[in-house]
């Protein structure tokens, strides 16, 4: 019930935000937001990564009183226009922040010339490194290699299929590689790990929002590819399109197959989720904002992961039986942390 109320709170907050309205605005700032969040396309309301970003901003607003403005474009062209508008609006400011809350916006960030905005303004890009980015753009990535490795090791007792949005995205390929390494190292069955994409067009950003493709792909995987006599797992790397996987498993409940939750604990959303790979993006957002409020310089790039709690595994007590999964978690956790550190040194 608490999760439902929180979802309604975010929905009402979203409806209250627009290009001209700001959360926490007062007479002193004339409705001009100190922080502008450009959310991922169609991302808010997914009970996942995007909603946790918004939750982090609300928490910071409650603690500091610093207002923020939420913008959710419907296309990349609209996002490009919003970025240009932010640059123009903030030519004379010196304490404004632009948050580009998706790796989808790497292309926009590479064209972002912060010389046309005020000195002291900040730009923060989510889930990307700083390769090819102009000075003045900071970035971070939540490293999923270790948590993906651990997920693969845990699921080594089941046939598995990875379903990803599209090839070519470094964050997805890192997760695929980590899951594969953990699965192959500790599987107890002879099955080969399958990998499929919603589209095979490289770097196709639209795939992250294609709920229908995810639905059809999940139907095909669970009804025609996976063995009907053995419960099998889907490891989804889809962004907002994960809603299509959830919907397909709800519509076809008689298959014994299940999915792994992503980003936010999925226990209350779907019973066919033994555990969720949880990302503490809310905590990372608050950390950046608090440092910004204190005037601290951000590192050009940061990586967070399993070792520092930014990525973790949360088990679903409503699932039929997670005891064996939890035992494998305990057995392989330290190994996964070591593998993450090793991978980071490459």
- What are 298-312's pLDDT values in tens digits? 999 999 999 999 999
Pair (86, 109) in one structural domain: yes
- 161 closest CA partner among 211, 230, 104, 208: 230
Pair (164, 269) in one structural domain: yes
Residue 269 falls inside a structural domain: yes
Pair (134, 149) in one structural domain: no
Range of the domain at 135: 2-142+281-306
Average confidence score pLDDT of the chain: 87
Res 47: pLDDT: 61
pLDDT digits (tens, 9 = 90+) for 45-88: 666 778 889 999 999 999 999 999 999 898 889 999 999 999 98
pLDDT: which is higher, 100 or 254 = 100
Q: Where are the alpha helices (DSSP H) in the chain?
A: 2-16, 49-64, 76-89, 106-110, 145-154, 170-186, 211-220, 242-251, 281-293, 323-344
Q: 270-304: b or e for each residue (b if 16 or more CB lie within 10 Å)?
A: bbbbbbbbbbbbbbbbbbbbeebeeeeeeeeebbb
Highest-confidence segment of 6-10, 15-19, 102-106, 260-264: 260-264
Pair (250, 337) in one structural domain: yes
Residue 25 falls inside a structural domain: yes
Res 309: pLDDT: 93
| CA 168 – CA 152 distance, rounded (Å) | 21
Q: 110-114, 234-238, 242-246 — which is least confidently predicted?
A: 110-114
Q: Which residue has the tokens 């937001």?
A: 33
The pLDDT confidence band at residue 4, using thresholds 50, 70 and 90, is: very low
> Domain tally for the chain?
2
pLDDT digits (tens, 9 = 90+) for 141-186: 999 999 999 999 999 999 999 999 999 988 899 999 999 999 999 9
CA dist list (Å): 177 to 183, 214, 238, 298, 328: 10, 21, 16, 29, 19
Pair (249, 336) in one structural domain: yes
Pair (170, 254) in one structural domain: yes
* Residue 272 pLDDT greater than 60, yes or no: yes
| CA 256 – CA 25 distance, rounded (Å) | 50
Pair (8, 121) in one structural domain: yes
pLDDT digits (tens, 9 = 90+) for 8-46: 334 434 433 444 345 544 333 434 558 999 998 866 766
* High-pLDDT (> 70) share of the chain, %: 89
Average pLDDT rounded to a whole number, residues 251-271: 87
Pair (219, 301) in one structural domain: no
pLDDT: which is higher, 266 or 260 = 260
Cα dihedral across residues 247, 248, 249, 252: positive or negative: positive
CATH number, domain with residue 107: 3.40.50.2300
Pair (178, 88) in one structural domain: no
Pair (266, 327) in one structural domain: yes
Average pLDDT rounded to a whole number, residues 245-250: 93
Pair (35, 114) in one structural domain: yes
Residue 311 falls inside a structural domain: no
Q: Is residue 82 within 8 Å of 71, Cβ to Cβ?
A: yes
Pair (164, 136) in one structural domain: no
Res 247: pLDDT: 93
Res 10: pLDDT: 40
Residue 264 falls inside a structural domain: yes
Give the neighbor-by-neighbor strand order of the sheet with 122-126: 68-71, 35-38, 97-100, 122-126, 137-142, 301-304
pLDDT: which is higher, 280 or 20 = 280
| CA 40 – CA 52 distance, rounded (Å) | 12
The pLDDT confidence band at residue 239, using thresholds 50, 70 and 90, is: confident
Res 231: pLDDT: 92
Res 22: pLDDT: 54
């Amino acid at each position: 019930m608490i999760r439902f109320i929180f979802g309604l709170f975010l929905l009402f907050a979203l409806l209250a935000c627009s290009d001209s309205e700001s959360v926490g605005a007062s007479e002193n700032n004339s409705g001009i937001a100190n922080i502008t969040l450009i959310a991922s396309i169609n991302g808010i309301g997914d009970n996942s990564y995007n909603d946790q970003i918004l939750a982090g901003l609300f928490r910071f607003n409650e603690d500091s009183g610093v207002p923020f403005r939420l913008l959710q474009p419907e296309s990349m062209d609209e996002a490009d226009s919003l970025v240009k508008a932010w640059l123009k609006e903030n030519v004379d400011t010196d304490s404004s922040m632009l948050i580009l809350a998706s790796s989808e916006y790497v292309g926009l960030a590479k064209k972002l010339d912060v010389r046309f905005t005020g000195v002291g303004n900040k730009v923060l890009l989510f889930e990307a490194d700083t390769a090819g980015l102009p000075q003045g753009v900071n970035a971070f990535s939540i490293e999923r290699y270790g948590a993906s490795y651990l997920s693969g090791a845990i699921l080594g007792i089941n046939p598995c299929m990875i379903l990803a949005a599209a090839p070519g995205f470094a964050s997805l390929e890192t997760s695929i590689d980590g899951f594969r390494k953990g699965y192959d190292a500790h599987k107890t069955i002879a099955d080969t790990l399958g990998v499929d994409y919603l589209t095979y067009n490289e770097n196709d950003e639209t795939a992250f929002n294609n709920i229908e493709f995810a639905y059809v792909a999940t139907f095909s995987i669970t009804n025609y590819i996976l063995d009907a006599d053995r419960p099998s797992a889907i490891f989804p790397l889809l962004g907002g399109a994960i809603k299509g996987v959830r919907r397909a498993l709800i519509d076809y409940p008689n298959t014994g197959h299940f999915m792994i939750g992503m980003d936010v604990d999925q226990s209350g959303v779907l019973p066919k989720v033994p555990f969720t790979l949880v990302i503490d993006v809310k905590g990372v957002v608050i950390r950046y904002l608090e440092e910004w409020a204190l005037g601290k310089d951000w590192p050009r790039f940061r990586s967070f992961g399993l070792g520092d709690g930014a990525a973790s595994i949360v088990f679903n007590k409503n699932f039929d039986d997670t005891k064996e999964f939890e035992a494998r978690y305990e057995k392989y956790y330290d190994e996964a942390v070591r593998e993450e550190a090793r991978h980071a040194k490459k």
